[in-house]
Structure 1
């Protein structure tokens, strides 16, 4: 829709003035107000206030001439009205001066009203065409800027998601975009998102992202050496060499809260010193953001998160959890739950708390399937109440507590049913140990052959025999050694080798510890 075009008529002859004004009424729907003034002084004030798009002025006016007025008008910056000069004087100098001052036409009185209307209509059409061209040009510029910005975002994001060495062509691109500070300054990477539930519709989500991004972008204009982009998981990413991160975070948080009433969570990477470290910074900031959001923290630095995390084990957490559940090892279940939940939070792109609940429920199903495979015991379906509690958690600790309580209840059910099968498993284990006691026999090796977890086997062995697996193997070997020492002529090192000891000194120490005598003393009855 074209904006209205206001016209100012300046003429000291009242009859002519009214005639022009009347003839222009209803001339074109886009013509807005038509102002009629009898002198240049009043017209000057109106021009500076209203900036009419078209000015029709006589040359000869009281005190200040029309040409003198035009000379002043042309000095106003960013104002280029379309001017028609009317005059009773058919003098070339007047016409020439009018054109020099920017007039589009010089009309002699008396003039034909129909012709004058056509002149004005052409000027109106000219204004519309200029507006159209200006709009198209602005549109092209905006699209070009948007395309350039999207290209920049994709380019920088690729460095964040894939380890990249700094090469000459990359440096030139960074130079073109005024981002060479990534190669010369230490920097941090911040990831942030809106806390609370995610909007249900894609449209609302896009609107929220757009508004938060706009506010953050405008806020960051005063922070030098900073770059804002959005990743594929709808999180805003800030790469910045600005020294005061707290100031920047607080400014963004304050303005988003003020204009959109949203609260933000921030995750901040460690200090990085090279372009190649963008990948690590990106991973760190996103892990810190997930941890901050899950624990209801306004912001979290990656180093703070790492300092608070327990040491990780290389053992498979599912195997450990299932074994602990089967064996009734509460501490083992607590450790497995801790490792799993913290792994989900750190390494999974969680958008809202329902996703964490769903991940935990999927994990429970995996554990129950594993327990069924290892013990043959079928476990009930997950209760709806657990699902509801997990979706309403208040902290990560409350999630861990719910899972531990659930697993403890499952463990009680499993251990109460497992006593009938435990003895058969141990009898199989004893047979295997009896057949292989002279080899490098281990708890893991026997457990693998029985297709059960070593922790479960260890628990069952102690429960069924009153001995640990290791004690049982040593006792069996020592019994064989005592018999061979008394009933055979084999040398002591040969006996040690036959029962699985390649180190004679080690065999001697264990034998004496178990019998109170050295192998030689036992053989000769000393």
Structure 2
């Protein structure tokens, strides 16, 4: 609390100061000035709760000063001091908000008593204001809690739009949920970021993430955010570009908290009754995002597209048949669908759970293959498990399993058709020899041979000792050498004829292979 004393007689001013300082009252500042002008500057800056002012001051009276204080938009307690027992002064000072009027000369005891009474009055008001403020805060928090409970109830169970629900939506300013399409977004922390951390630290991070998300959502209205029963965050938003909402939240959390959050997005819903379905979809997408930590954001639409069918069926048998037929596309598609289905299983909550399910599934495929072909593949088991355990993300696990299935395809093909590898490589070389001048790639050659490019790459290396690109480059350089020596074609024309677009790139490649530039080679240097 602050107090200011305005008195032009210096001795009286000092005397009042001493009274205040020896009163035992706890003031932060006791300002003492001799003019109204000085007082106005201090009052505007510090807003003292108590003003003691003489009426007759040089240049401006104390009462005129109080008139100007009104413009500062606050209500101090004023004690007016004057040597004139004129009722007009007293009347005007009361009109200006004075709570007491003291005549000069006054005794120290009287002055102390007056100031103490006003001090206690201010204290009581401050306590009342704080109580009122707390009541307002508690009321607001209570209102927010009721709103969160209401929205969480809509998320947890399917709710029909009845009249009392309609009115509650209006009370909480959520009527857009019945008039606009919306999505649900689930937001949490990636498991890699919380490993080994205490619960209190995790909760602090979640709280910080919630604050960041809430700030972001101010630009994406209408939206509402609540805490879920899983202690992470749930957002319902009618904003049309939900991906931009998720991306901005992800970017800001990463920037300010150094945490990569996991975010799951539901399909867009067009009816109020679908809120619980949107919530479930977002939870499933969040689970995929948590398992696949490198991506951070997962959409339920992408998950359903990758799964394809609700019923998994005898997938192990179908994959085994695909391996036997050498159908890499079929094998890869079923592998993707199976892994995504495993990710949504209730008992899969971390990468290790997913790894175990996938490994057991691969063993089923081995068993199916053993029934159809006489081939020992037991040596793969331990090695595959050790590699799978070291996979930090879902993408790494997919890559490992895909490579393993392609290796099985190659072994099956070699066993059933011992001459097949040589035939495939001969055919691949023939395609390269015929089409080296076009935009030929490993993928395009694999497509022509109806095999997977990874298998072709490995087979090419095994059978020729060269990788695919080195062989293609060798063919093109040899043809370039022939054309440089036997024709008068310009170098850029030769470059285009052998399948390159950039003459500078060709020049560097040619010199690396021949130790000469194309021009030097042509001139025979």
TM-score tier by shorter-chain length is 0.5 to 0.7
Q: 1:402 to 1:393 in 2, by over 3 A?
A: farther
Aligned partner (choices 268, 271, 281) of residue 271 of structure 1: 268
Equivalent residue number for residue 219 of structure 2: 222
Work out whether 1:72 is the aligned partner of 2:68: yes
Q: Is the 8 A contact 2:307 2:341 kept in 1?
A: no
Alignment of 1:329-408 (within 5 A): 341-348=339-346, 355-358=350-353, 360-361=355-356, 390=389, 393-398=392-397, 401=400
With 122-131 and 276-285 compared, the bigger mean Cα shift is at 122-131
Equivalent residue number for residue 160 of structure 2: 165
Q: 1:244 to 1:349 in 2, by over 3 A?
A: farther
Q: Is the 8 A contact 2:3 2:49 kept in 1?
A: yes
Which secondary structure state, in structure 2, belongs to the residue aligned with residue 313 of structure 1?
A: coil
Q: Is the 8 A contact 1:267 1:287 kept in 2?
A: yes
Aligned partner (choices 90, 94, 97) of residue 95 of structure 1: 90
Q: Is the 8 A contact 2:181 2:269 kept in 1?
A: yes
Equivalent residue number for residue 305 of structure 2: 307
Equivalent residue number for residue 9 of structure 1: 5
Aligned partner (choices 124, 131, 138) of residue 133 of structure 2: 138
Q: 1:270 to 1:52 in 2, by over 3 A?
A: same
Equivalent residue number for residue 208 of structure 1: 205
Equivalent residue number for residue 103 of structure 2: 108
1:358 shift after superposition: 3.8
Q: Deviations over 1:198-228 (max 9, x none)?
A: 2621211221111111222123223321111
Which secondary structure state, in structure 2, belongs to the residue aligned with residue 178 of structure 1?
A: coil
Q: 1:359 to 1:306 in 2, by over 3 A?
A: closer
Equivalent residue number for residue 20 of structure 1: 16
Q: In the aligned structure 2, how far is the partner of 1:144 from the partner of 1:385?
A: 59
Aligned residues: 391
Q: In the aligned structure 2, how far is the partner of 1:336 from the partner of 1:305?
A: 14
Work out whether 1:34 is the aligned partner of 2:30: yes
Q: In the aligned structure 1, how far is the partner of 2:33 from the partner of 2:382?
A: 84
Q: Which of the pair has more CA radius of gyration? A: 1
Q: In the aligned structure 2, how far is the partner of 1:300 from the partner of 1:19?
A: 75
Q: Is the 8 A contact 1:344 1:356 kept in 2?
A: no
Q: TM-score, normalised by structure 1?
A: 0.65
Which secondary structure state, in structure 1, belongs to the residue aligned with residue 263 of structure 2?
A: strand
Q: In the aligned structure 1, how far is the partner of 2:361 from the partner of 2:31?
A: 81
Q: In the aligned structure 1, how far is the partner of 2:187 from the partner of 2:26?
A: 48
Q: In the aligned structure 2, how far is the partner of 1:260 from the partner of 1:30?
A: 42
Equivalent residue number for residue 468 of structure 1: none
With 244-253 and 359-368 compared, the bigger mean Cα shift is at 359-368
Q: 1:231 to 1:330 in 2, by over 3 A?
A: farther
Q: Deviations over 1:319-375 (max 9, x none)?
A: x69x98xxx999999999766642342244977xxx231464488799999x9xxxx
Work out whether 1:256 is the aligned partner of 2:253: yes
Q: Is the 8 A contact 2:347 2:353 kept in 1?
A: no
Gaps of 5+ in 2: 367-377, 409-525
Aligned partner (choices 35, 44, 58) of residue 62 of structure 1: 58
Q: In the aligned structure 2, how far is the partner of 1:105 from the partner of 1:120?
A: 9
Q: In the aligned structure 1, how far is the partner of 2:20 from the partner of 2:388?
A: 74
- Aligned-CA RMSD value: 3.9
Q: Is the 8 A contact 1:86 1:109 kept in 2?
A: yes
Gaps of 5+ in 1: 372-378, 410-526
Which secondary structure state, in structure 1, belongs to the residue aligned with residue 218 of structure 2?
A: helix
Q: TM-score, normalised by structure 2?
A: 0.65
Q: In the aligned structure 2, how far is the partner of 1:162 from the partner of 1:346?
A: 20
Equivalent residue number for residue 463 of structure 1: none
Which secondary structure state, in structure 2, belongs to the residue aligned with residue 222 of structure 1?
A: coil
Which secondary structure state, in structure 2, belongs to the residue aligned with residue 74 of structure 1?
A: helix
Which secondary structure state, in structure 2, belongs to the residue aligned with residue 69 of structure 1?
A: helix
Which secondary structure state, in structure 1, belongs to the residue aligned with residue 225 of structure 2?
A: strand
Q: Is the 8 A contact 1:55 1:84 kept in 2?
A: yes
Equivalent residue number for residue 180 of structure 1: 175
Q: In the aligned structure 2, how far is the partner of 1:359 from the partner of 1:155?
A: 35
Q: 1:330 to 1:92 in 2, by over 3 A?
A: farther
Equivalent residue number for residue 423 of structure 1: none
